Amino acid sequence: MTRTVREATYDLLRQLGLTTIFGNPGSTEEPFLQHFPADFTYVLGLQEASVLAMADGYAQATGRPALINLHTFAGVGHAMGNLICAFYNKTPLIVTAGQQTREMLLLEPYLTNVQAVETPRPWVKWSYEPVRAVDVPAAFMRAYATAVQPPAGPVFLSLPMDDFEKPAPGAAVVRTQSQRVGPDPARLQEFAQEINRARSPVLVLGAALDRSDGWEVAHQFAEKLKVPVWAPPETERAVFSEKHPLFQGFLPFAIAPLSDKLTGHDLVLVIGAPVFRYYPYVPGEYLPEGTRLLHITDDPAEAARAPVGDSLLGDTRLAIQGLLELVNPGQYPPVPPRALKRELPNPPGAMLTPAEVFATLQENRPADAVLLLESTSNAEEFHTWVPITEPHSFSLFASGGLGWALPAAVGFASAERDTGRRRPVIAVLGDGTANYSIQALYTAAQHHLPVVFLILHNQEYGILKAFAEQQKTFGVPGIDLPGLDFVALAIGYGCAAFRVATSDVFSQALQDALRRAGPTVLEIPITAAVAPLL
């Protein structure tokens, strides 16, 4: 008996280990989803922004691609912000969407994805609608191969609904791909010579190293050189222990202040990050006078758009391993300890400050907890109190588009369960950010995922007030957020939820939440004072 395209497709997905599908279904997806095999799991998201970011978190935490099924252009449209985020996160995702039947495409019926392959561009590495039904399984194979090769990222397949009952001529060929590209040895030699010649080098270590399992070699390399280590601005992952004596903190996200921090160094070696992820425009020189920059990245686009520096393309872990053999042990000026301002000035009984919230979080969190951060005005304070000290334990959106961390936390928790690692997952959110993809709370509740969502309730888009100060754009409307009740919202989606207003109550509620089998939302009223942007 000949198999259908659907059967051949599911066989391939099974062999690729893609047996979890994140989605939100519609009429155009039902032909693909019918007779859903018992060994597959469907993770329903109630809005597609959530679907996309849940899959992103799942893929990041498993270290493997994740599969998504959306409803034609409408689903892709809703998912777009988090698709862009996945592109910058370099998360391998196979995003699919149903398409109207080929029988009627020409006359553009309801829910036709007109120019389907154009819709998600330029935020996918490859976008395709199979020309023939029989090509569907092989198109999935090509999508997988494209998504996982460096730099990894999302791909898109548009799947006409009449393809799945057609006969498939045979099984799709399963192929494997390399996920690392080695650096050019001659170029690596040149970089090592530059480092050995430098008077006072400094390291900037970025997220690609965490994606590449480079935490350990990054530490060996820094310790051999004995030089200061900075985290790049707005870095989406941690790659270096924030308690390490060589760690200097986070570079600021503006041109002139960033350059100031590098003063006194003749060589800056940036590994695994863009040069640089700037945000507010504060003009100045990209580097201090006389400073040279060397850039190692696995992403040719990142290498190409850097305004300064010389680049070396290749896997960041392989590059560091190569350099470790070639560089001399450091004879550089001693690295001064980092001065952290940690003050808890609040009188008892007053509203909590973000610092107090984070101090309590740090006291109670397990060391191996996975932390996701989308509390925009409190990021610096967060890292001051909650230092990341473990690989693969911190995640932040690389795009700046809000509504990623809440659903991504659900994906992380799902992966922690499926991999058997079972690390607790804690998402630290603002009262603004928490709203964009809040429907993922429902998925967390339905799957009994033990995620702890902390919502810092300052009743405003705090950081936009800091921006208005910095940019001198006064009188902006729409930046106050009165009247939100996250406890009611969370209960409505099936989560346990509590409002906690003091450190003691928060501490107890957090301990209870970490023991609970399902998700917990803690709404924490905090002071609204916003620190200057820079």
| Residue 464 interaction partner, one of ligand TPP, Mg ion, none, beta carbon < 5-8 Å per kind | ligand TPP
Q: Provide, rounded to whole angstroms, the least separation between the CB of residue 451 and ligand TPP.
A: 18
Which residue in this structure is represented by tokens 């561009």?
Answer: 121
| Residue 45 interaction partner, one of Mg ion, ligand TPP, none, beta carbon < 5-8 Å per kind | none
Cβ neighbours around 367 below 10 Å, total: 8
Q: Check if the beta carbon of residue 56 is closer than 8 Å to that of residue 43.
A: no
Does position 462 interact with Mg ion (CB under 5 A)? The reply is yes
Q: Check if the beta carbon of residue 113 is closer than 8 Å to that of residue 119.
A: yes
| Region 344-383 residues binding ligand TPP, contact defined as CB under 6 A | 375-378
Q: Check if the beta carbon of residue 41 is closer than 8 Å to that of residue 57.
A: no
| Residue 518 interaction partner, one of ligand TPP, Mg ion, none, beta carbon < 5-8 Å per kind | none
Q: In sequence order, what are the residues at sequence separation of 6 or more whose Cβ sits closer than 8 angstroms to the Cβ of residue 358?
A: 378, 381, 382, 384, 385, 386
User: What are the beta bridge partners of residue 20?
Assistant: 41
| Residue 81 interaction partner, one of Mg ion, ligand TPP, none, beta carbon < 5-8 Å per kind | ligand TPP
Among 424, 432, 450, 525, binds Mg ion (CB under 5 A): 432
Q: Please give the C-alpha separations between residue 121 and each of 80, 118, 130, 170, 353, in angstroms, as whole numbers.
A: 10, 5, 17, 31, 42
- The separation between CA 413 and the C-alpha centre of its own chain, rounded to angstroms, equals 14
Among 47, 146, 212, 458, binds Mg ion (CB under 5 A): 458
Q: Provide, rounded to whole angstroms, the least separation between the CB of residue 461 and Mg ion.
A: 6
Instruction: Report the residue number, 95 or 355, with the smaller CB distance to Mg ion.
Output: 355
Q: Check if the beta carbon of residue 232 is closer than 8 Å to that of residue 258.
A: no
x/- binding map, residues 79-118, to ligand TPP, per CB under 6 A?
Answer: --x-------------------------------------
Q: Provide, rounded to whole angstroms, the least separation between the CB of residue 318 and ligand TPP.
A: 34
β 310-313/292-297 pair status? parallel
How many alpha carbons lie under 13 Å from residue 357 in its C-beta half-sphere? Answer: 26
Q: Produce one character per residue of 442-462: b if its CB has 16 or more CB atoms within 10 Å, e if not.
A: bbbbebebbbbbbbbbbebbb
| Region 18-47 residues binding Mg ion, contact defined as CB under 5 A | none
d(CA 363, CA 366): 9
Instruction: Report the residue number, 79 or 372, with the smaller CB distance to Mg ion.
Output: 372
- Give, for 427, the enclosing helix (H) or strand (E): strand 425-430
Q: Provide, rounded to whole angstroms, the least separation between the CB of residue 216 and ligand TPP.
A: 34
Does position 387 interact with ligand TPP (CB under 6 A)? The reply is no
DSSP string, 82-134: HHHHHHHHT--EEEEEEE--TTTGGG--TT--TTTTTTTTTSSS-EE--SSGG
| Residue 92 interaction partner, one of ligand TPP, Mg ion, none, beta carbon < 5-8 Å per kind | none
The three-state (H, E, C) secondary structure of 153-189, written as one string: CEEEEEEECCCCCCEECCCCCCCCCCCCCCCCHHHHH
Q: Please give the C-alpha separations between residue 368 and each of 361, 477, 482, 501, in angstroms, as whole numbers.
A: 13, 41, 35, 26
Among 257, 387, 401, 494, binds ligand TPP (CB under 6 A): 401
Q: Provide, rounded to whole angstroms, the least separation between the CB of residue 301 and ligand TPP.
A: 22
Binding footprint of Mg ion, residue count (CB under 5 A): 5
Among 7, 315, 431, 523, binds Mg ion (CB under 5 A): 431
Q: Provide, rounded to whole angstroms, the least separation between the CB of residue 253 and Mg ion.
A: 19
β 66-70/20-23 pair status? parallel
Instruction: Name the residue whose CB lies closest to ligand TPP.
Output: 430
Q: Choose one: 132-140, 180-188, 430-438, 494-502; the region binding Mg ion (CB under 5 A).
A: 430-438
Instruction: Report the residue number, 205 or 464, with the smaller CB distance to ligand TPP.
Output: 464
| Region 413-442 residues binding ligand TPP, contact defined as CB under 6 A | 430-433, 436
Q: Provide, rounded to whole angstroms, the least separation between the CB of residue 492 and Mg ion.
A: 21
Does position 400 interact with ligand TPP (CB under 6 A)? The reply is yes
Does position 458 interact with ligand TPP (CB under 6 A)? The reply is yes
Q: Check if the beta carbon of residue 24 is closer than 8 Å to that of residue 4.
A: no
| Residue 58 interaction partner, one of Mg ion, ligand TPP, none, beta carbon < 5-8 Å per kind | none
Instruction: Report the residue number, 138 or 479, with the smaller CB distance to ligand TPP.
Output: 479
Q: Per the omega criterion (within 30 degrees of 0), is the bond before 232 cis? A: no
Cβ neighbours around 74 below 10 Å, total: 16
d(CA 468, CA 352): 24
Mapped onto helix, strand or coil, the DSSP state of residue 448 is: coil
Binding footprint of ligand TPP, residue count (CB under 6 A): 20
Q: Provide, rounded to whole angstroms, the least separation between the CB of residue 376 and ligand TPP.
A: 4
Among 65, 81, 430, 519, binds Mg ion (CB under 5 A): 430
Q: Provide, rounded to whole angstroms, the least separation between the CB of residue 458 and Mg ion.
A: 4
Among 402, 415, 428, 449, binds ligand TPP (CB under 6 A): 402
Q: Check if the beta carbon of residue 160 is closer than 8 Å to that of residue 99.
A: yes
Does position 77 interact with ligand TPP (CB under 6 A)? The reply is no
Does position 464 interact with ligand TPP (CB under 6 A)? The reply is yes
| Residue 463 interaction partner, one of Mg ion, ligand TPP, none, beta carbon < 5-8 Å per kind | ligand TPP
Among 92, 403, 424, 525, binds ligand TPP (CB under 6 A): 403
Q: Is 259 exposed, middle or buried (0-12, 13-18, 19+ CB in 10 A)?
A: buried
Does position 399 interact with ligand TPP (CB under 6 A)? The reply is no
Instruction: Report the residue number, 163 or 431, with the smaller CB distance to Mg ion.
Output: 431
Interacting residue ranges for Mg ion, rule: CB under 5 A? 430-432, 458, 462
Interacting residue ranges for ligand TPP, rule: CB under 6 A? 81, 375-378, 400-403, 430-433, 436, 458, 460-464
